[in-house]
């Protein structure tokens, strides 16, 4: 993994009062994203608007595509053209992108998609919040593969985690999702953007060997293949079909048994390096509240009240949602009485918590069907019940 200083042209150093959507655009620009293909959708559109306004001053391309199928296809093409690329969307657009997210996984494409979630299903609640695409982020495209998903809880984190998303995508050659939501996307807060010299990013894993020896999917020591870009004389081939090291299609079970485990293992085997958690008062806790995004901010209130009522509550905030922190949940399950999982959906991440806890500690869900955040009292009630 080679780290480099960022191009200062993209970095809007200073202290800004902006919303999460804008912060995502600034994070992308700071990370070196110079190609944005998008399609407007509430509540994510402000990111595209911001990018379209800023990119002429930075040098790059913003293109509003005809639909989200086009956006993601153009992004994959742009990566092979040598660019760092991102887009932003919400539920309906995320659904449309799913087939080519699979292509990006198969072709091992570094790219970043921010999903500013709204309430679903279907057109649902265009202007109101939700956290209902969390499972879709992991399972939405067909076949077996792994992706990375992060979940910021503030505009500042929208900026920071978008840069981190680019770094992870380049390190593992995988699509990375910034799974935020309408509340964080439209929340205005102070965002501090550091000077360019202080931001380091992961450089694409460029191949530097002899031209005729290049194999697009030959794994390097770290398990990640090298990349080249079109036009540099490698005359390489790549496909969405199951393929060998040369990138040539090989349609049989044997080749599949190499490709699929690779796509999965390159993420799962590095989960410890990828996963970012924020924990508070976990030692000695009887209850651990697991949450992510806006819900972790709402849960704080419930946690404080529960602590006042004498319940030992710890919190665990998932900054990385996928890969899931399986190990950590397993450890905690052996020590605590119960998990409490509030999320703005009818039970998604709680299923993962349950799976990892494997019966050692129950997971109490605090559902919300979207449109607004939880009433902290609803979370408090469940904490009290879990502590009984």
Partner 1 sequence: MKKEDRLESKNPMEGFLRMDRIPHIWCPGCGIGTVVTSFTEALKKSKLDLDKVAVVSGIGCTGRVAGYVKLDSFHTTHGRAVPFATGLKLANPDLKVVVFSGDGDIFGIGGNHFIHAARRNMDILIICVNNFNYAMTGGQVAATTPMEANASTAPYGNFEFAFSLPYLAEAAGATYVARWTSLHLRRVTKSIQEALAKPGFSLIEVITPCVTLYARRNRLGDGLNLLKYYYDKSVIEHGADTRTLDISYQGKLVVGKFVDKEKPTFLDRMNEHMTKILGDKYVKYGE
Binding site for partner 1 (CB under 8 A): 9, 35, 37, 56-61, 63, 65-67, 69-71, 73-83, 85, 99-100, 103, 229-241, 246, 248-249
Which is closer to partner 1, CB of 232 or CB of 278? 232
User: Closest approach of Cβ 248 to partner 1, in Å?
Assistant: 6
Q: Quick one: 34 or 374, whose CB is closer to partner 1?
A: 34
DSSP state at residue 13 = -
**33 touches 56 (CB < 8 A):** no
- What is the nearest approach in angstroms of partner 1 to the Cβ of residue 86? 12
Q: For the chain, how far is it from start to end, CA to CA, in angstroms?
A: 48
Cα 128 to Cα 107: distance, rounded to the nearest angstrom: 35
The least distance separating partner 1 from the CB of residue 167, rounded to whole angstroms, comes to: 20
Residue 246 or 360: the one with the smaller Cβ distance to partner 1 is 246
Dihedral angle computed from the Cα positions of residues 29, 32, 34 and 38, in that order, rounded to the nearest 10 degrees: -60
Q: Which is nearer to partner 1, 248 or 372 (CB)?
A: 248
Cα 212 from Cα 208, distance rounded (Å): 11
Is residue 187 helix, strand or coil? coil
Decide whether 218 or 384 has the Cβ nearer to partner 1: 218
Minimum gap (Å) between residue 108 Cβ and partner 1: 13
Residues 6 or more apart whose CB falls under 8 angstroms from that of 323 comprise 146, 148, 267, 268, 271, 274, 275
Q: Please state whether the peptide bond connecting residue 43 to the residue before it is cis, i.e. omega within 30 degrees of 0.
A: yes
Q: How far is the CB of 169 from partner 1 (least distance, A)?
A: 16
């Amino acid at each position: 993994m080679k780290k480099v200083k960022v191009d200062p042209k993209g970095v809007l150093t200073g202290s800004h009062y902006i919303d999460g959507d804008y912060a995502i655009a600034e994070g992308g620009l700071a990370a070196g994203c110079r190609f944005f293909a998008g399609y407007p959708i509430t509540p994510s559109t402000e990111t595209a608007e911001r990018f379209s306004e800023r990119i002429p001053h930075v040098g790059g391309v913003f293109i509003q595509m005809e639909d989200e199928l086009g956006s993601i296809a153009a992004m994959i093409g742009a990566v092979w053209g040598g660019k760092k690329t991102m887009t932003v969307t919400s539920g309906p657009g995320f659904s449309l992108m799913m087939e080519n997210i699979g292509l990006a996984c198969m072709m091992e494409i570094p790219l970043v998609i921010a999903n500013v979630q709204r309430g679903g299903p279907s057109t649902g609640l265009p202007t109101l919040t939700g956290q209902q695409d969390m499972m879709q982020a992991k399972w939405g495209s067909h076949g077996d593969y792994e992706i990375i998903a992060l979940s910021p809880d503030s505009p500042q984190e929208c900026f920071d985690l978008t840069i981190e998303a680019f770094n992870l995508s380049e390190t593992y050659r995988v699509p990375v999702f910034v799974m935020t939501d309408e509340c964080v996307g439209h929340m205005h807060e102070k965002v501090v953007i550091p000077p360019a010299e202080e931001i380091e990013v992961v450089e694409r894993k460029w191949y530097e060997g002899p031209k005729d020896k290049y194999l697009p999917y030959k794994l390097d020591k770290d398990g990640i293949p090298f990349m080249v870009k079109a036009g540099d004389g490698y005359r390489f081939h790549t496909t969405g079909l199951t393929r060998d090291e040369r990138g040539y299609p090989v349609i049989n079970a044997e080749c599949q048994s190499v490709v699929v485990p690779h796509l999965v293992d390159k993420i799962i085997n590095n989960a410890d390096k990828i996963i970012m958690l924020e924990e508070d008062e976990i030692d000695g806790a009887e209850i651990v509240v697991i949450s992510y995004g806006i819900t972790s901010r709402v849960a704080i209130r419930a946690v404080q009240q529960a602590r006042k009522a004498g319940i030992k509550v710890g919190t665990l905030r998932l900054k990385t949602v996928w890969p899931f922190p399986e190990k950590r949940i397993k450890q905690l399950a052996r020590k605590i009485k119960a998990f409490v999982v509030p999320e703005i959906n009818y039970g998604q991440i709680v299923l993962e918590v349950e799976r990892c806890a494997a019966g050692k500690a129950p997971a109490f869900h605090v559902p919300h069907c979207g449109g607004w955040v939880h009433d902290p009292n609803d979370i408090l009630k469940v904490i009290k019940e879990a502590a009984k």
